[in-house]
Amino acid sequence: MYPHIHVLGRDFPMYGLCAFVGLLFAAGLLVLTLRKRRDYSKIHIVNIPLAATVGAFLGAHLVYFVTRFDYFLRSLQHLDVVFASWDNFWAVFQEMFGGMVFYGGLLGAILAAFIYCKAAKVDFSLYADIFAPAIPLFHAFGRIGCVFAGCCYGMEASWGLTYPVGHNDLTVAVTRLPVPLIEAGCNLLLMAVLLILQHQHLKKGSLLAIYFIVYAAVRFADEFFRGDTIRGILFGLSTSQWISIVVLLLGIYMLLNRYRFKNKDTFGYRVPVGEVPEGYVYNRYAGAVAPWEQYRLKNMPEGASVDVPSAETADTEVPSAESDTAP
């Protein structure tokens, strides 16, 4: 493996470098996605990732702590040793919180973004669909970083990547399944699918739900081929597999909530009065309807489609851009 790169007299972690490159690619994808869209706010496009970053950092470390909970319980039995010196305390703290778990980062980021959207009174579903394809793209680079770091490796096999096992003169090479690379490939395919679905006639929030379902299924399956057990095992399933089940059910519920549970067929975007994007048609029931969705207006009540309202002529029923409720 190649955990560090030496540049200008300093060592830099390859995992961090891959994550940074993935962040740049994800940002580039976001720019390309938004270049022809007018249904978003630039302020929220910047603030949502910032909030998500804080949530991802806290969530990733918190879930790692859950995987090391047995170590935490053992530490409670030896508090005199833990607090005997700063070095002892810091070593125990690093053991409990020093690692990160992707699922924790993902759920923490989405929760933080959701809280921000609710506080700012913006449509979380709209922005979730905008950011959804960038998530697996960023994650793919993270898994490549796992290969360099030598973590998240697969079980021993007759083919795959070679990992060193042992220390110094006792080091031996072991061939393991390239699980990180396989998952990176799955993430890239998932990104492509989400990009295609962005141009289909789906309700807002559907892309995030589809991402949850597909990635949870992929992660649940590849966990059976992992060779590291640090994440913990409960009733024969790893911590990530239990989280995958929760995420899968959450994604299914989100889709059902949009297509089965709700009576209103909301497919338009909520925009400020007089600021309907070019090419869009304003409908008093659906909001601003994108060109590729205007065919659906034939199912609306007769006379529902009206001209774009102005600030002087609009009635009080015209919604604002920041509303998160259905028309």
What is the structure's pLDDT at 93?
A: 84
Which residue did the predictor score with more confidence, 167 or 61? Answer: 61
What ranges do the domains of the chain cover? Answer: 4-202, 270-327
With a cut of 80, say whether residue 223 has pLDDT above it.
yes
Polymer length of the chain: 327
Contacts of 76 (CB under 8 A, 6+ apart): none
CA-closest candidate to residue 142, choices 173, 109, 112, 175: 109
Least confident of 51-60, 94-103, 236-245: 94-103
Say which residue the tokens 């929220």 belong to.
44
* Share above pLDDT 90 across residues of the chain, in percent, rounded to a whole number: 24
Q: What is the pLDDT of residues 147-159, one digit of tens each?
A: 888 888 888 888 8
Contacts of 88 (CB under 8 A, 6+ apart): 81, 82
The answer to whether 215 and 191 have CB atoms below 8 angstroms apart is no
Q: What is the pLDDT of residues 95-138, one digit of tens each?
A: 888 777 888 889 999 999 999 998 988 888 888 988 999 999 99
What is the structure's pLDDT at 209?
A: 93
CA-closest candidate to residue 262, choices 187, 185, 197, 205: 205
What is the structure's pLDDT at 188?
A: 96
Q: What is the pLDDT of residues 12-26, one digit of tens each?
A: 788 888 888 999 999
CA-closest candidate to residue 288, choices 305, 301, 312, 311: 305
d(CA 260, CA 266): 12
What is the structure's pLDDT at 213?
A: 96
| pLDDT tier at 319, thresholds 50, 70, 90 | very low
With a cut of 70, say whether residue 268 has pLDDT above it.
no
Its pTM surpasses 0.85: no
Parallel, antiparallel, or unpaired for β 281-283 and 287-289? antiparallel
For 247, the token pair is 């995420």
* Share above pLDDT 70 across residues of the chain, in percent, rounded to a whole number: 77
The answer to whether 184 and 143 have CB atoms below 8 angstroms apart is yes
What is the amino acid identity at position 58? L
d(CA 246, CA 236): 16
With a cut of 50, say whether residue 317 has pLDDT above it.
no
**Degrees (nearest 5) of the Cα angle 62, 44, 252?**
55
With a cut of 80, say whether residue 314 has pLDDT above it.
no
What is the structure's pLDDT at 298?
A: 65
Tell me the pLDDT of the chain averaged across its residues.
79
Tell me the C-alpha to C-alpha distance, in Å, between residue 137 and each of 3, 18, 142, 230. 21, 12, 9, 26
